[in-house]
Chains A and B, each alone.
Chain A
Amino acid sequence: MSTTPPPAPPAASPDCAGAQALAGPRPRSLTDLFVSFTVLALQGFGGVLPVVQREIVERKRWLTQEEFVEDWAVAQIMPGPNVINLAMMIGARWFGLAGAMTAVAGMIAVPLVVVLLLAAAHARFADHPAVAGALRGMAAVSAGLIAAAGLKLSSALATNPMKLPLAAGLASVGFVLLAWVRVPLVWVLPVLGGLGCALAWRGLRP
């Protein structure tokens, strides 16, 4: 969840549904789009976002840095896997719905096969103590990785309109309810999220 305000509107608006002709480099075809997203998804270990930024913005220059940040902010506040949302929005820029579906398919199809093959290999060797140990070690690192993502995002709470103590309090209550009390998310998210939106709304009072 980004608190970075979107920069000034760029000349070409990054509409999701609009298949408008944008200046500058662009994917040549749906095939190009599919292959590009497949290749970049296969480079992303532990997270694809940095790879999307490097490939799409820095190497292919399909998006400017500003356009990328705006799309990313929207992808993050929408429900759904963030990187999938982002791929969909990028694909939709040039090819509308077909582009959105192609980019998402590129992101998912081949990596899904790879991950299922890995799972099958893991099932065969799961009884081997070294394999079990390796998985145990990687799971611990994954736990740390997710916590780190939470901590990185939490630095944004300092500029939250509801003020840091309230924001930190909401985050802590959410943590306790989900991790320790084990309240279903379907209760926690609307209630705490609604409270958060109300507090932020109040804090944004002009």
Chain B
Amino acid sequence: MIAPQLVLGWNDWLSLFVHYLMLSLMSIGGAISTSADMQRYLVEDKGWLSGAQFSDSIALAQAAPGPNVLFVALLGWHVGLNTGSLGAAFAGVALTMVGIMLPSTIFTYQAAQWAYRNRDLRAVRAFKQGMAPVVIGMLLATSWLLASAGPAKSNWPLWLLAALSCLVIWRTRLHLLWMLGAGAMLGAFGLV
């Protein structure tokens, strides 16, 4: 899939920023759990990223050190690059990262103390426990969309690799880096 060539106006940048501000407050379970929505917004609705750019961004951020939320920076980076300007790429990083982090950190900073003091309240426990299944559904949906993106669609070895790594990481304490390395090797030698 070829990267789209974009011309973005101020209102486009603004809507990108506002979308991430909104996702920030919904990213219970981590930023990765909202990535199914980012894929819908950036790739399917707006056409600002190709499907391959989207999954590459997540794969790169997973392979790199640091918190997983950095995949958001890479999405912003690629949206900016698709306009053909390096400055826009940095603007994309700033808008998406500030957007995904600012509302949630302000909210969490204020709420953490309150939630700790009131952790025995029925409402606090109901919120924690009631959100759990939905968060799990969000994570599984993200995984599904990543696995079915781009070239993987009709490629059974890739599905097998995804399923096997899921099983290994779920059931063992093997360092994630070994699995990512194995995936990279298998891909580099054309085996998947």
Please indicate the chain B residues that have their CB under 8 angstroms from the CB of A206 in the complex.
122
**In contact, B107 and A81 (Cβ under 8 angstroms):** no
Q: Is the CB of B132 within 8 A of A70?
A: no
> Is the CB–CB distance between A80 and B104 below 8 Å?
yes
Q: Are A140 and B158 in contact (CB under 8 A)?
A: yes
27 pairs, A vs B, C-beta closer than 8 Å: A1-B131, A3-B132, A16-B116, A18-B113, A46-B177, A79-B107, A80-B107, A85-B112, A88-B105, A118-B63, A122-B56, A131-B188, A132-B187, A133-B187, A137-B187, A141-B165, A143-B143, A144-B143, A147-B139, A153-B132, A160-B133, A162-B129, A174-B136, A175-B137, A179-B36, A189-B28, A196-B130
* Docked CA distance A193–B132 (Å): 8
A182–B179 Cα gap in the complex (Å)? 29
Take A78-B104, A178-B138, A197-B127 as given contacts and tell me if A46 and B62 are in contact as well, using a CB distance cutoff of 8 Å.
yes
Interface residues of A (CB under 8 A from B): 1-3, 6, 13-18, 41-48, 70-71, 73-85, 88-89, 92, 97, 100, 104, 107-108, 110-112, 114-116, 118-119, 122-123, 126, 129-154, 156-157, 160-162, 166-175, 177-179, 182, 184-186, 188-189, 192-193, 195-201, 203-204, 206
| B contact patch SS | helix
Which residues of B sit under 8 angstroms from A122, Cβ to Cβ? 56, 60
For B188, the chain A residues whose CB sits under 8 A away are 130-131, 133-134, 137
Residues of chain B lying within 8 A (CB to CB) of residue A132: 187
Contact B142 A146 (CB under 8 A): yes
Q: How far is the CA of A188 from the CA of B25 in the complex (A)?
A: 14
Residue contact A147 to B184, C-beta cutoff 8 Å: no
- Contact between A44 and B65 (Cβ–Cβ < 8 Å)? yes
Residue of B nearest to A153 (CB): B136
Count of chain A to chain B residue pairs whose CB atoms are closer than 8 Å in the complex: 412
- Residue pair A42, B137 in contact (C-beta under 8 Å): no
Q: Are B26 and A139 in contact (CB under 8 A)?
A: no
Which A residues are in CB contact (< 8 Å) with B105? 80, 84-85, 88, 100, 104
A200 in contact with B187 given A116-B77, A182-B44 (CB within 8 Å): no
Q: Which residue of B lies closest to A196 (CB)?
A: B130
Interfacial residues of chain B within 115-155, with CB under 8 A of chain A in the complex: 115-117, 119, 122-123, 125-147, 149, 151-152
Contacts of B41 in A (CB 8 A): 184
- Does B8 belong to the interface (CB within 8 Å)? no
Q: Is the CB of B74 within 8 A of A115?
A: yes
Output the least CB separation between B143 and chain A (Å). Answer: 4
Contacts A14-B116, A160-B132; is A136 near B158 (CB within 8 Å)?
yes
Q: When the two chains form the complex, which single residue of A1, A80, A186, A196 contacts B22, counting CB atoms closer than 8 Å? A: A186
B88-122 residues at the A interface, CB under 8 angstroms: 93, 97, 100-101, 103-105, 107-113, 115-117, 119, 122
Closest-CB distance, B41 to chain A (whole angstroms): 8
Residues in B whose Cβ lies below 8 Å from that of A195: 130
Chain B residues closer than 8 Å to A80, beta-carbon distance: 24, 27, 31, 100-101, 103-105, 107-108
Contact with A along B8-19 (1 / 0, CB 8 A): 000000000000
Residues of A contacting B104 in the complex (Cβ-Cβ under 8 angstroms): 78-81, 84-85
